[in-house]
Each structure stands twice: as C-alpha cells, then as structure tokens.
A = this chain, B = another copy of it.
C-alpha cells in the first residue's frame, strides 16, 4: 500500500503545515509542536494554520489548508478529535496525503464516541490513500531534516532508528539513550497506527542508508505474519531490538486503553522472538543498554567472559549475573594462572575468574599484560572490567580514576586481540565528587566507543544479547 519513496518524503519534508497552532504565544514562549519545529530550526517552508488568528509571533497564519500556496510534504494535526474527520477530508481535497495526527480521543478511549471517530477517519484515510502517522502520537524526530515534535532532543544525527507506539516512550528512549551517547536517524511515535503501521516503517528502515540499528516499542500489531517476515529479513543485516509491552494480564488491558491495540498472547510472542532473531528488551533502559553494545561491538564469537575486578562479593555477583544472562565464566586454566602469577603477588589477589587483583587496576603495565594474556586465550570471547569507584577514589581523590579512564579509552584496545571489552562502574557512597568522577569516566569511554554500564546485570544482559544475536544471525534465512 505504501512505498519507501512516499515515506522518504515524510521523513525529509521540504514543507510542513501545522493545523491548530495556538492563538497566541504561551508562557515560556510555548507554541506547541509548531514551536518545537521553530526551536529546532526547521529549514523548510512552515505554515501555521488557525482559523481564529491571522498572525502569530510576527508570522502569517493561514485559515486552512486550501489557502496555502502549495501542497505540503507533511501536515500535522493538533486539533480536537471532533474536527479531525473534516480536516482529513480537506487534506484529501487539497492533495495533502501525508498527515501526522497528534490528536487523541479515538479507539484508545474504549468509549463509543472514540471508536466511532476512529472508524470514520479510517474510512476517509483508506478511500483517499492518506498516509497517516497516528492518531494519538507524537510523530517524528529526524535530526537530519531538523524536525522534532517535542520540546528537546539532540540536534546531531546518528545511525539508530526508534519506532514507538508510545509518544512518551519515544521521548524517554531518545533522551535516556542520548545520555549514553546514542544518536538517531529517525524516531517515529505512531500511536494507534491508523494506516501506517510498524511494518511500513520497518520496510523503509530496512533500506535506509542512514540506519544501522532498529529499536522498537511495540504494544500490538495488525499483521503478525508480516512483522515476523520483515523482522527476520532485516535481522540478517541490521539488528532489531524490541520491547514488547502488554505481555502480562494487566499489561494487556493497559495496552488496549493506550493505543487500542491487541497485545497478543505471550507464547505467540515467545515464538516470534525465536523465529525472527529479534533481540527482546525488558525496559526502555535495557533497550538503550543493548543498543549501546550493538553500536560499539560488531563481532563476538561466543558467550565466554573473563572478568577483571576487585572484591569477592562483586565477583560472586558477576558470576551470578553472567549465569543468569546466559553467559559463561570459565575458570582460568592452570597455564593462564601461571602466566599471571609471574607478575601478580599471591597475597590478597585471587587469580581465578573473576581475576580479583588490585595491583592490575593500579598499574597500567600490569593491566596491559593481563589483558594481553587473557584476551589471547581461545576460551574467552569477551572481557568485562568492573570498577568500584568508592575504593579507587579513596586512594587519591579521583586522580587515578581519570588515569584509568584515559587508559581504558585509548590504550586498552591494543591489548584485546580484537575481543570486545565492556566496563562496569559503581559508586555506592553518596559523595557528589565520586559520582562526578564516574560521569567523566563514563563520557570518556563512551566517546571512545567502549560500552560502559553501571551495574553487572546490565552489563551481562547487554553482552549476552549481542553474543546471542551474532550466533543466531547465521541461522536466519527467508
């Protein structure tokens, strides 16, 4: 029904009309979605529409779509639900085929009037082949096109796409991911999915040269077979990470009242994940952590982890976390132990897996030697370094933490034999200076492309997912 060229116009609109701009500038200069586009420096032709005023903040306001000097690439409707049907008819009449309906009050209400309205606009949209994003959604964020329909988002582009049935989640995932250095090609909040559904966007993203990784927040889907087919195809060359909501009894009901979707049964979704090779995430944060690993690690041969870190309790926690995530932590074999014992004193240092030895964290020479030895062992596929910042901070008030950050960002990579490294840091004490040091370390590592996390289960889960993805990918075929 839709082709990628149509969506290409929607994602890179040269002209936009916003129907239902405010009659006047609100507090803090608030101007709704129209204001978000202005603030984001949208460079195309932008037409505010409102019947009641002729001017807004010094800019001409048009009374309706018919009065515009052109048909536009994208119409945004931000008007009460009862006016949507007539305005859609006007869209059809004026040849404006691409419409983002922000307005809510349709199927998701579960009430008679909302259901009726959604049926009415669906008929109008299908008869006129309108390409509808929504209703009941936040629409688009495409930094390359300088379009965004919410108050704040990074201006730089990246190579991650996010499809979301929730407008709040579209903002939250984008913002939380941005903290981890994630940047986006396209973010789409598509709500009730009147005509354009997840699969239509996926068909586009599959071929989108700007997108390497696809993340999705999914409540329900109209055509499960089509989704399976397309996700399975994409997973062969771009990873797809999906947070599927509504997999519990209460969740299913909540989904129905949110986007009017059918959440579907758990066992069907289990089968979907198995067959499609899609990576299942369990929360927005979890999805961002997984995408971070996918973005920075493009090769991993298996699931066997070597862990370097200090503290017996942390070692036990790491072992449990790795096991639960599906990773293995093989014991060091005697020859490896012997090589390490040549430069690590026995007292207070455990040369097992985890390798629990403070001297390694204090001397970069020892750290490099250790990484050389461990990463060259064929029975390890990846390495985690766990840093307890409270303890390292106490030595010299953070000087060594920053040295460690520089070492891990610039030198550690030369001692990994091409195997992936992830870093996990923690600080339990409520001391702003330690937290501050941690954030600097985090930033430096993220900029250097080293995935960094704040707890061991997070780290283990992210690594397990990409290890699994790379193993499964080989077996996917149409």
**Chain A residues close to B by CB (< 8 Å):** 27-28, 80-81, 104-105, 108-110, 136, 151-152, 164-169, 171-173, 175-176, 178-179, 217, 219, 245-251, 253-255, 257-259, 283, 285, 311-320, 322-324, 328-329, 331, 347-348, 350, 352, 354, 388, 390, 394, 396, 426, 428-431, 455, 457
Contacts and interface: CB of A to CB of B under 8 A. Distances in A.
23 contacts: A28-B394, A28-B396, A80-B347, A105-B347, A105-B348, A109-B350, A152-B429, A167-B313, A168-B312, A168-B313, A168-B314, A171-B390, A172-B426, A175-B390, A245-B313, A246-B320, A247-B320, A248-B320, A250-B323, A251-B323, A255-B316, A257-B350, A285-B455
A134 to B, nearest CB: 13
Nearest to A457: B283
A219 B317 CA distance: 10
A325 to B, nearest CB: 10
Nearest to A165: B313
B428 A312 contact: no
B347 A315 contact: no
Given A319-B248, A323-B249, A258 B168 contact: no
Given A104-B348, A253-B319, A347-B80, A312 B248 contact: no
A217 B320 contact: no
A201 to B, nearest CB: 17
Contacts of A352: 110, 257
B457 A168 contact: no
Contacts of A430: 175, 178-179
Contacts of A455: 283, 285
Given A167-B313, A312-B108, A250 B329 contact: yes
B245 A317 contact: yes
A169 B219 contact: no
From A151, A251, A313, name the one whose CB has the most chain B CB atoms within 10 angstroms.
A313
Contacts of A258: 312-313, 315-316
A253 to B, nearest CB: 7
From A80, A254, A396, name the one whose CB has the most chain B CB atoms within 10 angstroms.
A254
B175 A250 contact: no
Contacts of A27: 396
Given A166-B316, A169-B313, A253-B331, 20 more contacts: A105-B348, A108-B312, A164-B313, A166-B313, A167-B312, A168-B313, A171-B390, A171-B428, A172-B390, A175-B430, A245-B316, A245-B320, A246-B319, A247-B320, A248-B324, A254-B320, A254-B329, A254-B354, A257-B315, A257-B350
B319 A250 contact: yes
A322 to B, nearest CB: 6
A175 B426 CA distance: 12
Nearest to A397: B28
Given A254-B354, A311-B166, A316 B246 contact: yes
B320 A251 contact: yes
> Shortest 9 CB-CB distances between A and B: which pairs?
A166-B313, A248-B323, A258-B312, A254-B319, A251-B320, A250-B319, A168-B311, A175-B428, A169-B313
Contacts of A166: 311-313, 316
A317 B313 CA distance: 32
Contacts of A80: 347
B108 A254 contact: no
A403 to B, nearest CB: 16
